[in-house]
């Protein structure tokens, strides 16, 4: 009962705190962009902290054409509150060469964690690469916003 009350207060706070242009931002990924089979997959781990504005960092691996390519990620977001450790997987679309995977991705995401939670996001970079992720998180947080993820390939 107490957790539901706290979550209700948190949701009410988030709805009041987010400006309309953020809470109703247009999704950057269309259904047509993820209709074909993926070109690659990813797995990743990250730590996120948010108080309306937030950020995070982590590591991951791009699995593309039978090879593994490690990468790092740094994220910034608007819309959310809390702290979580995240582990996830994703599908990568419109990737023809590894070099196109790195870069800045715009994202719209939603997720929640009270102890353990789940979330999903869709990202797109300036090279046209689209990444759909599903993640499990531990901590106490709510994500209802937009963000930017910068991916750098490890050497």
Task: Summarize pLDDT for 73-93 with one digit per residue, the tens.
Answer: 998 877 777 888 889 999 999
Neighbours of 82 (CB within 10 A): 20
In terms of residue numbers, what domain contains 64? 2-153
**In this model, does residue 106 exceed pLDDT 70?**
yes
What local confidence, expressed as pLDDT, does residue 127 receive?
92
| Count of domains observed in the chain | 1
Taking the C-alpha atoms of residue 67 and residue 64, their distance in angstroms, rounded to an integer, is: 5
**In this model, does residue 59 exceed pLDDT 50?**
yes
What local confidence, expressed as pLDDT, does residue 145 receive?
67
**Angle at the Cα of 110 (from 31 to 40), degrees rounded to 5?**
50
Q: Judging by beta carbons within 10 Å of its beta carbon (0-12, 13-18, 19+), is residue 100 exposed, middle or buried? A: middle
What's the pTM?
0.74
* Chain CA centroid to CA 114, Å: 18
């Amino acid at each position: 009962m107490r957790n539901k009350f706290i979550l209700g207060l948190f949701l009410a706070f988030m709805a009041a705190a987010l400006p309309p242009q953020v809470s109703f931002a247009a999704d950057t990924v269309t259904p047509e962009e993820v209709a074909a089979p993926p070109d690659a997959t990813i797995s990743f781990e990250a730590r996120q902290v948010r108080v309306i504005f937030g950020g995070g960092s982590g590591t991951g691996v791009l699995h593309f054409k039978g090879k593994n390519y490690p990468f790092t990620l740094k994220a910034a977001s608007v819309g959310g509150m809390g702290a979580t450790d995240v582990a996830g997987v994703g599908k990568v679309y419109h990737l023809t060469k590894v070099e196109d995977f790195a870069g800045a991705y715009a994202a719209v995401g939603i997720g929640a964690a009270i102890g353990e939670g789940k979330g999903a996001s869709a990202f797109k970079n300036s090279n046209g690469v689209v990444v759909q992720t599903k993640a499990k998180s531990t901590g106490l947080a709510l994500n209802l916003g937009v963000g930017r993820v910068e991916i750098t390939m490890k050497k």
